[in-house]
Amino acid sequence: KQEVTQIPAALSVPEGENLVLNCSFTDSAIYNLQWFRQDPGKGLTSLLLIQSSQREQTSGRLNASLDKSSGRSTLYIAASQPGDSATYLCHLVVSPSGTYKYIFGTGTRLKVLA
């Protein structure tokens, strides 16, 4: 069974720090991996999508990488700001037996202090 773990579960840092959030998965047969942020009581905002054939994607201060062989994706946040405070979730689309399965990671709760 595919398991998706995010480390750390919670993180509190001063403004301006560069951050690395980790997403680990057990099965490398993925279609894509997507990073989201969720503000309290709100829906999910898509940050970056990495297709199975890609190694990384960048958007502004965000960079996400994918290493299928090691079962790991990292989300890099440069020069963190208080507005980055949110829960960050990774999401995998896999197809272990011909049908799609959709799996969310456990999440990292980030707080950036001004």
Partner 1 sequence: DGGITQSPKYLFRKEGQNVTMSCEQNLNHDAMYWYRQDPGQGLRLIYYSQIVNDFQKGDIAEGYSVSREKKESFPLTVTSAQKNPTAFYLCASSIFGDTEAFFGQGTRLTVV
Give the binding site for partner 1 (CB under 8 A): 31-32, 34, 36, 41-46, 49, 89, 91, 93, 95, 99-100, 102, 104-107
CB closer to partner 1, 76 vs 104: 104
Provide φ and ψ at 82, rounded to 5°.
-55, -30
**Which is nearer to partner 1, 80 or 107 (by Cβ)?**
107
CB of 13 to partner 1, least distance (A): 22
Residues 6+ apart with CB under 8 A from 95: 29, 31, 101
Cβ–Cβ contacts within 10 Å for residue 52, how many? 14
Query: Closer to partner 1 at the Cβ: 61 or 101?
Result: 101
Please, what is the minimum distance in Å from the beta carbon of residue 68 to partner 1? 15
Identify the three-state secondary structure at position 82. helix
